[in-house]
Structure 1
Amino acid sequence: MERRKHWNKMSVFWIVLLGLLSLCHAAPTTAPTMSPEDQDLAEGYLSQFYADVGMTNSTLRRIRNNSFTQDLQAMQAFFGLEVTGTLDKETVDVMKAPRCGVSDISRYGHFPGRPKWTKRLITYRITRYTPDLAQRQVDTTIAQAFQLYSDVIPLDFKQVTSGTADIMILFQSRYHGDFYPFDGAGGVLAHANSPGQGQGGDTHFDDDESWTLTQRGVNLLLVAAHEFGHALGLDHSRDRRALMYPTYQYVNTNGYRLPDDDRRGVQALYGSRTTVPTTAPKPEPPPNPEPEDPTEPPNPRDEQCSRELVFDAATSIRGDLYFFKNGYYWRKSSSFQGIRLTKVNRKWSRINYVDAAYEVPNENVVTSSCLSTGRQYWGVTGIAKTIMPGYPKSITNLGLPSSVSKVDAAVYVSSTGKTLIFANNKYWSYDERRNQMDSGYPRYITQDFPGIGSKVDAAFENYGYLYFSDGPRQSEYYLPYRRVMRVLLNYGWLNCY
């Protein structure tokens, strides 16, 4: 079973163990000036970061009720504070500092059992990006974070853009598909799993943070490099100068190299690199926008039943559901069994790739982006192969500003007669009866559709419900109640169980 690591070295464990043995009946001690809010903060902090995750619930409850002092002493010892077992202002200030979400007590330490990768080439994939930075900036920064390690250990890292990688990476706020929901801006910044099968090494960043490449906000390079330390098998360090220290602290990242404490820790697991890395962890370049010799897009058949499946677009057309991916689409119909996979340009010869799609009753318009520019859309009639005259057109004809380079998703809402068009973290409302954009837009997705996330990759309507996909996760949304009814995974629509 993987060990989830959030932003510890086992050297602190013996301190905690001795504390539990010698002070197991000590009563909580707090400074008289501490407020009830500070007391609640301290109890929650110690419960989250200083509870032995291997204990049963009943044992954990019994110890928590009797061990506030020793847990507090362990925390103070870990951070180099005066070990008093008394809740004071300096201790509370440390508890309030932004930090990694991994506990400071680990059964693995560093690590009895030593979970680590047993191969030399580790793949990673970013399934969902933050809107705070350009995608290319994120790719480059993540690659730089991995290179801090590949410079000193004999592992290489390679970014892939499809399938299941060894390390899956995403930016997401609040609940994001695991049992460790984020807590909003500040607090826990990110978390990662230790090496292992399945979700081992997977790394998540809280998208409620303001991610930057500078001193302002939260520096992505520093947090990513810290979390990838966990993904490689490192625990937290008590050395304040170490990258693996639990709380976030900005340092100048120009020419940044792995600190000595962290280098020694990761080399103890993997050994030292004696030669220049053979495979630099460069991000895969995006597709050439104007390829002279277009290559065949990867066939998504192998992704059909992946829990990490991300749709490019989705729509209903004459009662059938179409799910688009990498220049192909899956068609789900009540008129035939199974799921059919077809190349997009085999059905619509002038369309190679679909970013967004929607159906308007009696018109059945499918909006897609041109492979070369991303700024065009086509109208097609029903389920036929016929593209309507006058297409393609620029997406600015719909009333979108020229700053929008592509549409992420679109869906026609039958109860309102409006088409919702999503791009980045905003959306527009297009009135199909008046053939014009509604005034007052764009608006933020999180403002009007609470619970679905801040970005929509694909959207469609089915039996009165709206389905919004954000990465592999999908929200079943009931518009009259303005609430999420269920949270699903995309692959569930493709006869995968």
Structure 2
Amino acid sequence: MSIHRFGLLSVLILWLDCSVAFSLDIESDEIDYLQRFGYIDVDLSDAQITPSFWSDKIREFQDMVDLPQTGEMDAETKKAMKANRCGVADKFKDDRRRVRRHGNRGRRYIKPEYKWPKTDLTYWIRNTPRYLQDRDAIRREIGAAFQAWSDASGLTFREVSSVDGKDVDITLSFQWKKHENCPHAFSHGFLAHAFKYTNNYEFSGDVHFNDEYNFKSSPVSESDDRRGVQNLRAIAMHEIGHSLGIDHQNTKDSIMFSLYQNNNDHPKLSSLDVNVIQSTYGPNRTPSHRYRHPSRPTEPRVNPEPPRVPHHRHHHPDEPTLCTSTIDAAVMYRGELLIFIRNFMWRFRDDRFIGRPIEASSMFRDLPKTIDAVVNVNDQLLFFSESQVYVYRLLTLVTVLPLTHLGLPHHIRRVRLAFTWNSRIYIFDQHEFRELDPRSLKVKGDRKIIRYQWVGLPQEVSAAYESDNGLNFLHKNMVYRYETDDGSRPPIVEQFKLCRKDFQHEHSVPYPRRVLTATECSVEECPSSAESHFHWFLIMIATLLMCV
């Protein structure tokens, strides 16, 4: 959360606390939810935040999710905020533009503002999800989703193969957390998002599915629903609607309802959906046209299916302690910092601990219990375990290689460290290091002595990873950070503790937010952080005085 957003939320929460006439039970994550989905403008001034402000915003949300507009955070409203949903915003700054009426109920629908300049569109299924490996089933479900919109409008869709993918109109892909250059990272509860057509925009018209979830072809049974299995066709129909320019609608039977209706075995467009699409692209004047598979399918996915990672687990009696144990390996992968101790793994994102430590093999199937080092090479993870290297791509084991395959001499039986630095890959044994070519994965150049090249590096360091702010070496609770432009004889520019002295609770963040995101101050003393906290402290005091 940005400092600007933190300040806005602080002021809003204080308004709630000090208003006698406005008693409302609302949590900070619910405030963040309303802001994320367009109900709160981040540019609001303090004068605009009145006791009636929240009632209005909650009514707007209740209206969008088809709930009674009480203006209060009642149980049904809280439940709606926790439901699986689309990651696209509900409201936009120009929402006053498009209100129409539909049917006898007088329900509104929002007419699309953005539309494709043509009616014959192509699409490309870039990859398949981790939990549904049947490519034909994927093509069938997504093809049926496109066909539903085609049957109701003047649009036609044609699937193209990967060979033609560079010229495709709509690219559909299954993504994980922070992905590519997408401005919207996935988090739990958000199943997919899509982008409207905008000329010259990188993701224009594209659809991204959250690969954290288990997607299934229709129908989805009640037992599937209880296990969190998601109806791929229904979600695809919804997101394709966004790609075509359609916003969220506030009627539950609409496929464009923002909260996913997973119990729909055979999803279909409602009369409201048909009216919206026809108001933009016209009716279908040739109902007989059908969906066509490409003559040449995209490349199949050949890797075996990895296991589903549980979101919750009980404490393991052998679980090590992060702040006092020797860290065996660490790596940045897809926007997350992974830390390995014995056969356990910790996951951090945006300086926050995700869930509980899990057994590493529950995410990386067939991974050995002893891990000496790990490095990310071209989005592949190379795990070093004794004399072997386990190569994973997208959490799937691709191959197992001996150390000698990398060009390491036979007498090296174990790698101590492996990391990337300035686009180079380094492999450490006890006293020497070598550089690995990222393309051939072969040793290049001569061996070098660690203590001559890495000035001041303690012999005891057991893990290393590269972050945006430098190269970090770990030894128990200590972090040694290096910075250099050319990678030659880098000096230590900072050292600090991984965990704070007051870190005791296992669900807390084990290091301050600035430790892994800044180099200008230490863990215990950070003037800029202190100044920021003092600034918002003054805001809170001023707001409280306003309430007296």
Report the TM-score, using the length of structure 2 for normalisation: 0.48
Q: Distance in 1 between matches of 2:36 and 2:282?
A: 33
C-alpha contact 1:190 1:204 (8 A) present in aligned 2: yes
Shift of residue 423, structure 1, vs aligned partner: 6.0
Amino acid at match of 1:97: A
Shift of residue 148, structure 1, vs aligned partner: 0.6
Mapping of residues 33-112 of structure 1, within 5 Å: 34=25, 39-51=27-39, 57-59=42-44, 63=48, 67-106=53-92, 107=94, 110=98
Q: Distance in 2 between matches of 1:27 and 1:464?
A: 66
Shift of residue 274, structure 1, vs aligned partner: 1.5
Q: 1:234 aligns with which of 228, 246, 259?
A: 246
Q: Distance in 2 between matches of 1:188 and 1:104?
A: 13
Residue matched to 1:183: 187
Residue matched to 2:467: 485
Q: Distance in 1 between matches of 2:139 and 2:177?
A: 23
Amino acid at match of 1:189: L
Q: 1:426 aligns with which of 396, 401, 406?
A: 396
Shift of residue 81, structure 1, vs aligned partner: 2.4
C-alpha contact 1:143 1:283 (8 A) present in aligned 2: no
Shift of residue 58, structure 1, vs aligned partner: 3.4
Q: Distance in 1 between matches of 2:247 and 2:255?
A: 11
Residue matched to 1:120: 119
Residue matched to 2:485: none
Go from structure 1 to structure 2 and tell me whether the alpha carbon gap of 1:415 and 1:286 turns closer, same or farther (over 3 Å shift). Answer: same
Mapping of residues 110-259 of structure 1, within 5 Å: 110=98, 114-134=113-133, 135-160=135-160, 161=162, 162-176=165-179, 177-184=181-188, 187-197=189-199, 198=201, 199-213=203-217, 214-215=220-221, 216=224, 217-254=229-266, 256-259=267-270
Go from structure 1 to structure 2 and tell me whether the alpha carbon gap of 1:485 and 1:98 turns closer, same or farther (over 3 Å shift). Answer: same
Mapping of residues 380-399 of structure 1, within 5 Å: none
Q: Distance in 2 between matches of 1:240 and 1:431?
A: 56
Mapping of residues 193-342 of structure 1, within 5 Å: 193-197=195-199, 198=201, 199-213=203-217, 214-215=220-221, 216=224, 217-254=229-266, 256-276=267-287, 278=289, 280-283=291-294, 285-286=296-297
Go from structure 1 to structure 2 and tell me whether the alpha carbon gap of 1:413 and 1:261 turns closer, same or farther (over 3 Å shift). Answer: closer
List gaps (5 residues or longer) in structure 1.
Answer: 1-24, 290-407, 436-448, 451-458, 469-478, 488-497
Mapping of residues 345-384 of structure 1, within 5 Å: none
Count of residues in correspondence between the two structures: 304
Residue matched to 1:347: none
Q: Secondary structure at the match of 2:233?
A: helix
Q: Distance in 1 between matches of 2:385 and 2:435?
A: 8
Q: Secondary structure at the match of 2:132?
A: coil
Amino acid at match of 2:243: A
Shift of residue 261, structure 1, vs aligned partner: 1.1
Go from structure 1 to structure 2 and tell me whether the alpha carbon gap of 1:28 and 1:285 turns closer, same or farther (over 3 Å shift). Answer: farther
C-alpha contact 2:384 2:390 (8 A) present in aligned 1: no
C-alpha contact 2:86 2:190 (8 A) present in aligned 1: yes
C-alpha contact 1:126 1:169 (8 A) present in aligned 2: yes
C-alpha contact 2:381 2:393 (8 A) present in aligned 1: no
Identity %: 25
Go from structure 1 to structure 2 and tell me whether the alpha carbon gap of 1:128 and 1:426 turns closer, same or farther (over 3 Å shift). Answer: same
Higher normalized contact order (CA 8 Å, seq sep 6+, divided by chain length)? 1
C-alpha contact 1:100 1:191 (8 A) present in aligned 2: yes
Shift of residue 188, structure 1, vs aligned partner: 1.1
Amino acid at match of 1:425: L
Amino acid at match of 2:151: D
Q: Secondary structure at the match of 2:44?
A: helix
Shift of residue 126, structure 1, vs aligned partner: 2.4
